[in-house]
Amino acid sequence: MPVSPIEYRYGRNEIKSIFTDESRLRYMLRVESALAYGEWKNGLIPEKAYRDISDAVSSGRVKISRVNEIEKETKHDVMAMIRALTEQCDTGGAYVHYGVTSNDILDTATALQLKDFYSYLLSDLTALQSALMELVVRHRDTVMVGRTHGQQASPITFGLKMSVYLNEVGRHIERAIETRKRVLVGKILGPVGTGAALGEKALQVQESVMKFLEIGAEDGATQVVDRDRYIEYLQLISNIATSLEKFTTEIRNLQRSEIDEVSEYFDSKSQVGSSSMPSKRNPIESENVCSLARFIRSLVYPEYEAAVTWHERDLTNSALERFTIPYSSVLIDYILVKTTNIFSKLSVNSERMRSTALSNELAMSENIVKLLVTKGMPRQEAHELVRLSAMESMASGKRLSETILGKTEILTPDELRNAIKPEMFIGVAGAICDRSVRSAKEIIKSLEDEVFAR
Residues annotated as catalytic (active site), given as ranges: 149, 274
Contact partners, residue 31, CB within 8 Å, separation at least 6: 104, 105, 108, 109, 112, 186, 209, 213
Q: How far apart (Å, rounded) are the C-alpha atoms in residues 179 and 231?
A: 11
CB 246 within 8 A of CB 286: no
Count other C-beta atoms under 10 Å from residue 69's C-beta: 13
SS3 assignment, position 80: helix
SS3 assignment, position 257: coil
Which of these, 53, 91, 29, 45, lies nearest to 201 by C-alpha position?
45
DSSP annotation of 201? G
> 380 burial class (0-12, 13-18, 19+ CB within 10 angstroms)?
exposed
Q: How many CA atoms lie within 13 A of 158 on its CB side?
A: 25
Contact partners, residue 446, CB within 8 Å, separation at least 6: none
Give me the helix-helix angle, 64-74 and 21-41, nearest 10°.
90
Q: How far apart (Å, rounded) are the C-alpha atoms in residues 359 and 230?
A: 51
Count other C-beta atoms under 10 Å from residue 449's C-beta: 10
Give me the helix-helix angle, 102-138 and 21-41, nearest 10°.
120
Which of these, 222, 190, 188, 192, lies nearest to 206 by C-alpha position?
188
Q: How far apart (Å, rounded) are the C-alpha atoms in residues 65 and 46?
A: 30
